[in-house]
Structures are given as structure tokens and as C-alpha cells.
């Protein structure tokens, strides 16, 4: 895939994912805000209904008490009767309607203790209460005419009369007097906690708000005795409504309501949809991350594959060319008769053939090892002897380049359960890398020691070293560090991958430490027997 196209694809996918997540978070936020607004409206209605019921209950109680008291007092202090008359004529039926509306005001002296919730009969102080009743009369007259066309008789044919209290006017008059004197009564004598809780429970349940609440009544911003045990004043979390309002709608008292677990209640109402939304968003994120990872991984594999093919082609090209030249030389009539030259060329063909076969076997070995098809038989192995044997494979090459390989075999115990062939290859691979990646004369030291029940091998070189990025991938299959010319160091990136597989199959551990320009150190830990 083109690099520019790949970057564009990643950017577009990232923007799409960010957009989806942003929309989901906005939707959840809006849902919570809508629920909170709906909750606030319902609570406001609940508070208004509760305060109205409390006020209505109080006025009704005192109104009934006053009516009973009025009936028991007998004679009133003074009275005033005013009448309103109204005459109407019906031309179709020749009827005249006469309306009479009388209002009777009766004044009573009432003890001030009437407004207290006590049975006291102390009348040292009194107030005047006006009782208003009405008398409504409707009389219908029929007009009769003589032969001369003159009206000569006006007969009443129906009389309707109603005597009783004027509910609206009566209540208004009583309310004004009551509200004026109720101000003198302490708030905790006018309303009980039990009544508030009963009304709040009822109204909240009717509106589907089943959650814990705290309440309190405040007078001009100051707390009163009427409040729940755990009520705390927090202005931003309170709902309030005026209570015991005057005829002008003003009040010194407010009923405050708070919900300690309001946020949990609101979130619970949207948690189902929010959970599904977040779940699907998470699935999209995981799928997106996996897709990006696979794209990057495939791009890396494609590059590694190309490098591997190039390296393997280069590795096979030299021996094939050598074999071809040797065959052509043998075919030469001057050479074919020289047995010594023929044997030398045949030896070259054999060596190059072995070299190609070794490359193929190395690739196949990794493949079989990954599929667990490699037969690794383990026996007791003396690791010091195996290390010496591995060193002998590279001693001539190192000496030819003016370097050295020193063995510091200090471990007291060196017997492990291992396959001597495969583990010999492991040691040779690491030593061979130390030689190949030493730009100058190779300087290699091999140390052994025991740590608890483990046999530890440490192979140090003073070669080119590796960067941290390379060190993380050094044991990956086909991975090779490039330094300009990909053929500057022979190999195909399978050696250390093979090392890691074999060591892990022996229940061991292999890792490396390195610094660019200062060399590398490889550690191998194997369990002792």
C-alpha cells in the first residue's frame, strides 16, 4: 500500500472514530440534562402541591373551628345589612324579574388563643372577627292587561330565596384575619414534620420519584426547627417553594428539598442506553485498533518479506554462481585431465551445495519449530563442554580478523537437560552474530555462573551494538537491522528467532542488553538438574 494512502486512510478512520465517540458522549450528556430538567419540573410541581395542601389544611382547620365557635357565641357584637336590587323585564313572556342580594356582616370578639393549637380559655386579649352571610331572593312578577290595553295587575308567580354563607367573600375575609394573626404563631406549631413527610412521600410516589430526600423550612434564609435530621443547606442542590403566603403572594417561609442521591437516580434512568452505547463504541474502538494494528503489521511484514526474499536471493546467488563456474571449469579439456583440479572444483561444488542446504534447513527448522513438529530430545548435557565446542567453530575466523574469544567458565554446576545439537546451534548463532556485527577485530567474552537453580551464560562483544528500537525486535522472525546496504552483513534474520524458540523450548529465558556503538550482551538462563 502506498505510504501516503495508508496515512490518509488512518487519518480518516481516526476522525470517524472520534466523531462517533463525540456524538455518543454528547447524546449521553443531553439525556442526563433532559432527565435533570424533567426531574426539576416534577419536584417544583410536587413542592407547590405540598405547600398548597398544607396551607389549605391549616385554613380549613381554623375555618371550621371558627364556625363552631360562632355558633356557640350566640349574640353578635354588631351587624350591618346591605342590599343590592336589580330589576329585569322579559318582553316575550311579559315577566318582570326582581333580584335582591342582601349581605349581613356580623362582628364577634374572639380570644387570641383561638389561633393557638391549645385548649386554653384565657381571654385577656381578644380580636374582632367579621362573619359574612348572604340572603339571595329572586321574585318573578307576571304582567296582566285589560281590554283597554292598560296594565292593571302585577302578580308574583314564583319566589326563590337562598340564605347561606358567601363562600368566596366569607373565606377571603377570614383568610385575611387568619394570616395576620398566624404570623405570631411559631412555625413548628403550625406544621409538623410528620405531615410534611407524609405529603412529600405521597406526591413523590405519584410522580414516580422513589428516592431518598431531605427537607427543611427556612425563614428569611435562616433555618427553623422544622427540618429532617440530615438536611444540609447547599444552594446549588436545593429545590424550594414559598409556604404560608400572604394575600399578596409573599411569604417569609420557604420549604426546601434536597436529594442526596439525585445524580445516581438520574444516571440510573439512562444507564441502560448509555451502557449499550458505550459497549458498541468500545467494540468499534477495539475493531478500529485491531484494524490499524493489522494494517501496520501487514505493512511491516510486507517490508520484512521483501527484505527476506532479497537476502535469500543474495545468499543463494553466490553459491549458485560458484557452482556454475566450477562446472564450467571441469568441462574445460585442460582441467578435466588434471585430477587434482577436478577434485578441488568438486570440493567447491560440495561446499556451496552444503551452504545452500544449510540455508534451506534453517528456514525449514523455524517453520517446523513454530508448528511444534521439531523433534527435540533432551539429555544431560555438560554446558561448559558445549560452550567450548561452539567457540571452536568461530576461533579461526576471529583469529583471522585479529580478534579473540575468551571463556570465563566460573559456574560450579553446569549440567542441564538439553539437546546438544540444537543448543550448540544456539551458541554458534549468538557467537556468529558477535563476529558479523563487529566492524573491527571481534572481541568476545563468554561468562558462566549459577544463580539459585539456574545456569546463566553471558556473551559479551564490543561490536556495533543496537538501538533501543532494534533491541525490542531483535528476536522477531525475519527481522534484520539495515545500515544502508542490506547485504553489508550476511544473514536472513532467522538466527535469533531460532535461538529464542530453542531456549524457550528448554524452559529457559534469553534476552539482550545493548548500546549503540558500545557492543551487546546476550543472557541465557537454563534450569539446572
What lies within 8 Å, CB to CB, of 220 at 6+ separation is 252
DSSP letter (8 states) at residue 260: T
Count Cβ atoms within 10 A of the Cβ of residue 330 and give its class: 0-12 exposed, 13-18 middle, 19 or more buried: middle
Task: Please tell me the distance from the alpha carbon of residue 176 to that of residue 183, in angstroms, as a whole number.
Answer: 11
- Check if the beta carbon of residue 299 is closer than 8 Å to that of residue 53: no
Task: Please tell me the distance from the alpha carbon of residue 509 to that of residue 502, in angstroms, as a whole number.
Answer: 10
pLDDT band at residue 250 under the 50/70/90 scheme: confident
Residue 39 C-alpha cell reads as 426531574
User: No. of H helices and E strands in the chain?
Assistant: 11, 15
- Check if the beta carbon of residue 138 is closer than 8 Å to that of residue 167: no
What lies within 8 Å, CB to CB, of 10 at 6+ separation is 292, 295
Q: Is 142 left (phi over 0), alpha (psi -120 to 50) or beta?
A: beta
Count Cβ atoms within 10 A of the Cβ of residue 160 and give its class: 0-12 exposed, 13-18 middle, 19 or more buried: exposed
Helix (H) or strand (E) holding 327: helix 262-331
- Check if the beta carbon of residue 136 is closer than 8 Å to that of residue 163: yes
Helix (H) or strand (E) holding 27: helix 3-73
Between residues 268 and 207, the one the model is more confident about: 207
- Check if the beta carbon of residue 67 is closer than 8 Å to that of residue 77: no
Task: Please tell me the distance from the alpha carbon of residue 71 to that of residue 68, in angstroms, as a whole number.
Answer: 5
Q: For 132-151, what is each residue's pLDDT tens digit?
A: 555 555 555 555 554 454 55
Between residues 465 and 139, the one the model is more confident about: 465
Write down the mean pLDDT value for the chain: 76
What local confidence, expressed as pLDDT, does residue 301 receive?
75
pLDDT band at residue 154 under the 50/70/90 scheme: very low
Task: Please tell me the distance from the alpha carbon of residue 420 to that of residue 447, in angstroms, as a whole number.
Answer: 19
Counting Cα atoms < 13 Å in the Cβ hemisphere of 191 gives: 31
Rg of the chain, C-alpha, whole Å: 54
Residue 446 has pLDDT above 90, yes or no: yes
Work out whether the CA dihedral 201, 206, 212, 215 comes out positive or negative: negative
Strand partners, 409: 448
Task: Please tell me the distance from the alpha carbon of residue 130 to that of residue 180, in angstroms, as a whole number.
Answer: 14
- Provide the whole-model pTM: 0.42
Cβ atoms < 10 Å from Cβ of 231: 19
Strand partners, 454: 451, 527
Task: Please tell me the distance from the alpha carbon of residue 59 to that of residue 255, in angstroms, as a whole number.
Answer: 18
Q: How many residues does the chain have?
A: 529
Between residues 92 and 426, the one the model is more confident about: 426
In the block, which residue shows the cell 585430477? 339
Task: Please tell me the distance from the alpha carbon of residue 327 to that of residue 469, in angstroms, as a whole number.
Answer: 46
Strand partners, 86: 99
Q: For 473-513, what is each residue's pLDDT tens digit?
A: 888 776 665 544 444 444 444 578 888 988 998 999 999 99
DSSP letter (8 states) at residue 237: G
Q: For 160-196, what is each residue's pLDDT tens digit?
A: 444 344 445 555 555 666 666 667 778 888 888 899 9
Cβ atoms < 10 Å from Cβ of 414: 19
Query: Quick check: helix, strand or coil at residue 71?
Result: helix
Task: Please tell me the distance from the alpha carbon of residue 199 to that of residue 192, in angstroms, as a whole number.
Answer: 11
What local confidence, expressed as pLDDT, does residue 297 receive?
80
Strand partners, 437: none
Question: What are the φ and ψ backbone dihedral angles of 102, each rounded to 5 degrees?
Answer: -100, 140
CA 20 to each of CA 33, 188, 271, 285: distance values in angstroms, whole numbers, following the listed order: 20, 56, 19, 10
Q: For 375-391, what is each residue's pLDDT tens digit?
A: 678 899 999 999 999 89
What lies within 8 Å, CB to CB, of 207 at 6+ separation is 42, 45, 46
Q: For 265-319, what is each residue's pLDDT tens digit?
A: 887 777 787 788 888 888 888 888 888 888 888 877 777 777 777 767 766 776 7
Amino acid at each position: 500500500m502506498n505510504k501516503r494512502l495508508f496515512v490518509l486512510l488512518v487519518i480518516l478512520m481516526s476522525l470517524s472514530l472520534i466523531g462517533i465517540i463525540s456524538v455518543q458522549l454528547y447524546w449521553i450528556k443531553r439525556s442526563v440534562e433532559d432527565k435533570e430538567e424533567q426531574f426539576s419540573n416534577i419536584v417544583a410541581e410536587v413542592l407547590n402541591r405540598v405547600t398548597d395542601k398544607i396551607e389549605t389544611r391549616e385554613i380549613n382547620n381554623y375555618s371550621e373551628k371558627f364556625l363552631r365557635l360562632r355558633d356557640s357565641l350566640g349574640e353578635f357584637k354588631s351587624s350591618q345589612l346591605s342590599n343590592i336590587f336589580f330589576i329585569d323585564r322579559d318582553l316575550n313572556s311579559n315577566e318582570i324579574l326582581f333580584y335582591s342580594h342582601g349581605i349581613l356582616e356580623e362582628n364577634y370578639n374572639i380570644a387570641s388563643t383561638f389561633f393557638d393549637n391549645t385548649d386554653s380559655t384565657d381571654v385577656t386579649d381578644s380580636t374582632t372577627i367579621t362573619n359574612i352571610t348572604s340572603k339571595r331572593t329572586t321574585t318573578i312578577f307576571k304582567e296582566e292587561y285589560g281590554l283597554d290595553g292598560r296594565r292593571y295587575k302585577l302578580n308574583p308567580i314564583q319566589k326563590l330565596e337562598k340564605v347561606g354563607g358567601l363562600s368566596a367573600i366569607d373565606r377571603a375575609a377570614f383568610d385575611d384575619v387568619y394570616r395576620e394573626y398566624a404570623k405570631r404563631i411559631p412555625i413548628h406549631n403550625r406544621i409538623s414534620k410528620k405531615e410534611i413527610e407524609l405529603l412529600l412521600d405521597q406526591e413523590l410516589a405519584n410522580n414516580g420519584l422513589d428516592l431518598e430526600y431531605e427537607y427543611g423550612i427556612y425563614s428569611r434564609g435562616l433555618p427553623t426547627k422544622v427540618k429532617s435530621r440530615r438536611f444540609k443547606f447547599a444552594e446549588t442542590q436545593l429545590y424550594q417553594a414559598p409556604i404560608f403566603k400572604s394575600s399578596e403572594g409573599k411569604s417569609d417561609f420557604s420549604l426546601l428539598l434536597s436529594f442526596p442521591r439525585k445524580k445516581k437516580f438520574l444516571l440510573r434512568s439512562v444507564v441502560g442506553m448509555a451502557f449499550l452505547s458505550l459497549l458498541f463504541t468500545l467494540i468499534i474502538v477495539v475493531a478500529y485498533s485491531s484494524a490499524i494494528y493489522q494494517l501496520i503489521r501487514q505493512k511491516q511484514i510486507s517490508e520484512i518479506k521483501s527484505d527476506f526474499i532479497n537476502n535469500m536471493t543474495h545468499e543463494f546467488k553466490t553459491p549458485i554462481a560458484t557452482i556454475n563456474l566450477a562446472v564450467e571449469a571441469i568441462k574445460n579439456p585442460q582441467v578435466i585431465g588434471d585430477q587434482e583440479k577436478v577434485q578441488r572444483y568438486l570440493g567447491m561444488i560440495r561446499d556451496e551445495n552444503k551452504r545452500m542446504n544449510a540455508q534451506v534447513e534453517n528456514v525449514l527448522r523455524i517453520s517446523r519449530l513454530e508448528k511444534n513438529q521439531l523433534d527435540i530430545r533432551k539429555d544431560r548435557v555438560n554446558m561448559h563442554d558445549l560452550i567450548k565446542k561452539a567457540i571452536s567453530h568461530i576461533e579461526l575466523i576471529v583469529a583471522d580478523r585479529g580478534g579473540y574469544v575468551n571463556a570465563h567458565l566460573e559456574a560450579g554446576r553446569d549440567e542441564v537437560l538439553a539437546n546438544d545439537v540444537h543448543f550448540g546451534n544456539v551458541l554458534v548463532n549468538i557467537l556468529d552474530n558477535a563476529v558479523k556485527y563487529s566492524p573491527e577485530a571481534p572481541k568476545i567474552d563468554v561468562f558462566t555462573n549459577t544463580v539459585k537453580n539456574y545456569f546463566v551464560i553471558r556473551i559479551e562483544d564490543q561490536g556495533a551494538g543496537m538501538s533501543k528500537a532494534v533491541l525490542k525486535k531483535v528476536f522477531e522472525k525475519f527481522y534484520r537491522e539495515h545500515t544502508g546496504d542490506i547485504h553489508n552483513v550476511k544473514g536472513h534474520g532467522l538466527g535469533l528467532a531460532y535461538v529464542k524458540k530453542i531456549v524457550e523450548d528448554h524452559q529457559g529465558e534469553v534476552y539482550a542488553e545493548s548500546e549503540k556503538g558500545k557492543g551487546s550482551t546476550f543472557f541465557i538462563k537454563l534450569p539446572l538438574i
